[in-house]
């Protein structure tokens, strides 16, 4: 198999060419080569190249010492790249395409080398966007004394210079809950936490305070993807 030095590449075109060159000697990869031929439609190519260009821009900001060069020059990386393109080829949402790029960068982080759940995480990349990830990032695995609606609505708008409403944040919170990535904090846990400050919320107050935390799955996903931001 022809060796590929992905760390020296700087454009999406080079990646597509490299993948074709890698796959060409292997008859068993004919279905994948055929799939790549289907990617030639102008619209799909633009979407794929957008994800790849974002990936290259992000990987260049990742410190060399934490880049897993062995993985980046392996067949496993090519497989992960193809799988990601398969998801991203029809993704019209700019935010989600950025999540796919973050996923690829996270795969290249040395701490994620042996992560057995990355294929599961890839499926979630097509289900969440930047606001979803920001909400997950804002939470802990235990109650952190935040009303997530108030906190995210203010900090997200300030950081990204946008105008997300509380209702939009609330809908994203409900959506993330349905995906099993966050959950309502245990009321008993919250009460014990607030007792340190001589506060005791009523049941009605508790329900309106939107006290959430990451699930185990949500935390694993966050710990994986956050490597792209190091």
Give the CATH number for residue 174.
1.10.10
Q: What Cα–Cα distance (Å) separates residue 63 from each residue in 113, 173, 208?
A: 16, 33, 42
Q: Which two tokens stand for residue 136?
A: 């997950």
Given a contact cutoff of 8 angstroms between Cβ atoms, the answer to whether 59 and 105 are in contact is yes
Going along the chain, which residue ranges are E strands? 182-184, 212-214
The reply to whether 19 and 46 lie within a common domain is: yes
Buried b (16+ CB within 10 A) or exposed e, 77-99: bbebbbebbebbbebeeeebbbb
Domain that includes residue 103, residue range = 6-125
Q: Which two tokens stand for residue 121?
A: 């995480």
- Domain edge (last residue) among 95, 125, 155: 125
The reply to whether 160 and 179 lie within a common domain is: yes
Q: Is the dihedral of CA 146, 147, 153, 158 positive or negative?
A: negative
pLDDT, position 43? 77
- Domain edge (last residue) among 105, 125, 145: 125
pLDDT, position 1? 45
Q: Is 188 exposed, middle or buried (0-12, 13-18, 19+ CB in 10 A)?
A: exposed
The reply to whether 174 and 98 lie within a common domain is: no
pLDDT tens, position by position, for the chain (230 residues)? 445 455 555 555 556 665 666 555 545 455 555 655 554 567 788 888 899 999 999 998 888 889 998 998 888 999 999 999 999 988 888 889 999 999 999 999 999 988 899 999 999 998 999 999 999 999 988 776 677 888 898 899 998 888 999 999 999 999 999 999 999 887 777 777 666 656 666 555 555 567 888 999 999 999 999 998 86
Q: Is residue 78 part of a domain?
A: yes
- Given the structure tokens 């950081």, which residue do they identify? 159
Nearest alpha-carbon partner for 156 in 95, 78, 100: 95
The tally of domains found in the chain comes to 2
The reply to whether 83 and 165 lie within a common domain is: no
Q: Is residue 1 part of a domain?
A: no
Write a three-state SS string for 161-221. Answer: CCCCCHHHHHHHHHHHHHCCCEEECCHHHHHHHHHCCCCCCCHHHHHHCCCEEECHHHHHH
The reply to whether 20 and 88 lie within a common domain is: yes
Given a contact cutoff of 8 angstroms between Cβ atoms, the answer to whether 165 and 156 are in contact is no
Model pTM score: 0.74
Q: Which two tokens stand for residue 140?
A: 């802990």
- Domain edge (last residue) among 125, 143, 158: 125
Q: Which two tokens stand for residue 5?
A: 């030095």
The reply to whether 152 and 115 lie within a common domain is: no
pLDDT, position 28? 46
Q: Is residue 97 part of a domain?
A: yes
The reply to whether 99 and 10 lie within a common domain is: yes
Cα separation, 159 vs 129, whole angstroms: 16
The reply to whether 158 and 74 lie within a common domain is: no
């Amino acid at each position: 198999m022809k060796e590929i030095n992905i760390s020296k590449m700087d454009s999406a075109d080079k990646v597509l060419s490299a993948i074709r060159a890698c796959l060409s000697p292997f008859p068993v990869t004919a279905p994948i080569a055929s799939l790549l031929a289907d990617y030639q439609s102008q619209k799909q190519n633009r979407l794929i190249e957008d994800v790849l260009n974002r990936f290259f821009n992000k990987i260049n900001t990742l410190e060399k010492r934490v880049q897993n060069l062995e993985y980046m020059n392996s067949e496993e990386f090519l497989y992960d790249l193809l799988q990601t393109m398969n998801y991203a080829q029809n993704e019209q949402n700019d935010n989600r395409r950025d999540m796919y790029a973050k996923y690829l960068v996270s795969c290249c982080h040395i701490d994620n080398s042996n992560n057995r759940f990355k294929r599961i995480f890839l499926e979630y990349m097509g289900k969440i966007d930047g606001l979803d990830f920001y909400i997950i990032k804002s939470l802990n695995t235990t109650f952190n004394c935040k009303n997530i609606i108030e906190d995210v609505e203010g900090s997200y708008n300030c950081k990204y210079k946008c105008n997300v409403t509380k209702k939009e944040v609330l809908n994203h919170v409900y959506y993330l809950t349905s995906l099993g990535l966050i959950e309502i904090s245990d009321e008993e846990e919250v009460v014990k936490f607030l007792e340190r400050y001589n506060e005791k919320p009523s049941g009605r107050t508790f329900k309106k305070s939107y006290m959430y935390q990451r699930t185990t799955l949500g935390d694993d996903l966050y710990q994986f993807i956050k490597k792209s931001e190091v």
